[in-house]
A and B are shown apart, each in its own frame.
Chain A
Amino acid sequence: MARLVESNPFVEVATHFFLEDLADKVGIQGLNNYLIGLAKTLANHMPEEEWRDWKEFMEAIRAGDTMLSAFEDVVTLTDHCMVTRHSPFERGWREYVKRVGSFSPAHKNVAEYYNKNVKPTAVNSLHIILQTFRAAAAPRVKVGGKGVHYAQIATVWPDGQRMVASDAERTELLKKAGISETKLRILLRDNAEVWVLWADK
């Protein structure tokens, strides 16, 4: 797959308005359901993958050769802890605030709905798409014949807003990722996403 060319941010700004228009029509709950459905459809459209072993899979993650890193630059901090340096949505958002003005509240409102009803790791609407996409894409990847699982540990937006997995869940996820709570706090200073991948036992 290799690194994809960058999109024109205008298309992303248009998509934001598309979603805002949708929110006016179907409400926040409807938009949430729509975003989830959209991300699942996108993941299901991407070809399934198989990798010989975890080492080969991690190389594919770093090179952008797997669907799980096709849209973002991912650094593998440990064999299971993935770090996205910059949000894949940052360029579009910057273009939006530069050309249009402040972000519509619909993007924040739907994230609040998602955080309350699904899991508390989205800062805005775009994270619902990205996190649902990863969750739907992971089972389509086989490593050494075993299925892959994904979970989000933390999300940071360029303006500094952050959302972190619940206390109860976080301890378990940090253990899987092989990093400490302190290390997580360091990562959150200057990265956009911290997430974890692991294979079936």
Chain B
Amino acid sequence: MLDVALVSLINDLSEKAGADGVIQFWQRVGENLASRMGKEAYLGWPSFNVAVREGRTAFSIEGETVTLTDMAIMDVDGDVVGYLYALKQCVFLPTILRVRYSSGDLPRADREVAQEYNESHHDIAICNFCVFHERFREEVAKNITVSGQPLNCLLLATRGFTGETKISTKNLRKIGINPEHVRALLRNYECVYALEMRGARLKEGD
């Protein structure tokens, strides 16, 4: 029931502190959680991707994560410096259903927080939990090294309960991947993100 209570809490907080206050709150919580999870090191991408498959990385708290090994990110020299990862199901979806079948519908604050975030930070949020999620992943990535290099996380695309999709052209450009590739991925996945080595020299897209 804690997740359903959380929805009420967001509504209450939004009334008191506004949508922007909720965003700040969520981002702080995301940072705190990521910092409590500690540092991790992997010898290379194969070792990291096995850890992802076995649910051993800090990212695994989100649930089953799929490594899209056919979507490697290359640097200017053609070396693999990252991959795309995806969640089949949005972390918040079960909560949306639980709210729907227990108390009714999601409060207005859920959409207001997402909208405010899309306008003021990054146009990628489908629901208020995306706000927490993006910051959490960014902070976790900093604490993980692959071949001695810390990672950087880029949220690329999201698909919501009602079918609405968001694709971050800004982040896709950074890793040189075409939005159409990601659009196709959204048929199977609800959340797609990239992990790449921090400081890698990438060939930017158009």
Contacts and interface: CB of A to CB of B under 8 A. Distances in A.
A7 interface: yes
Contact of B102 (A14, A20, A71): A71
B2 A129 contact: yes
Contacts of A186: none
A5 B25 contact: no
Interface string B15-35: 000000000010011101100
Nearest to A18: B29
A46 B102 contact: yes
B76 interface: no
A197 to B, nearest CB: 17
A5 B94 CA distance: 6
Interface stretch (B5-13, B110-118, B156-164): B5-13
B137 to A, nearest CB: 11
B9 A38 contact: yes
B184 interface: no
Contacts of A71: 1, 4, 102
Interface of B: 1-6, 8-9, 12, 25, 28-30, 32-33, 36-37, 58, 60-63, 91-95, 97-98, 101-104, 129, 132, 136
A89 interface: yes
Contacts of A14: 6, 29-30, 33, 129, 132, 136
Nearest to A41: B8
B8 to A, nearest CB: 5
Decide if the interface of chain A is mainly helix, strand, loop or mixed.
helix
Contact of B37 (A12, A20, A99): A99
A99 B25 CA distance: 21
Given A5-B97, A45-B104, A17 B3 contact: no
A38 B102 CA distance: 15
A101 B58 CA distance: 12
A42 interface: yes
B32 A15 contact: no
A95 interface: yes
Q: Interface residues of A toward B: which range?
A: 35 or more
Given A14-B29, A21-B25, A70 B102 contact: yes
A101 B36 contact: yes
Contacts of A99: 37, 58, 60-61
A6 B101 CA distance: 12
Nearest to B58: A99
Contact of B29 (A5, A12, A21): A21
A8 interface: yes
Contacts of B6: 11, 14-15, 18
Nearest to A25: B25
A10 B102 contact: no
A38 B5 contact: yes
Nearest to A4: B98
A18 B33 CA distance: 10
Interface string A115-134: 00000000000100110010
Interface in A11-57: 11-18, 20-21, 37-39, 41-42, 45-47
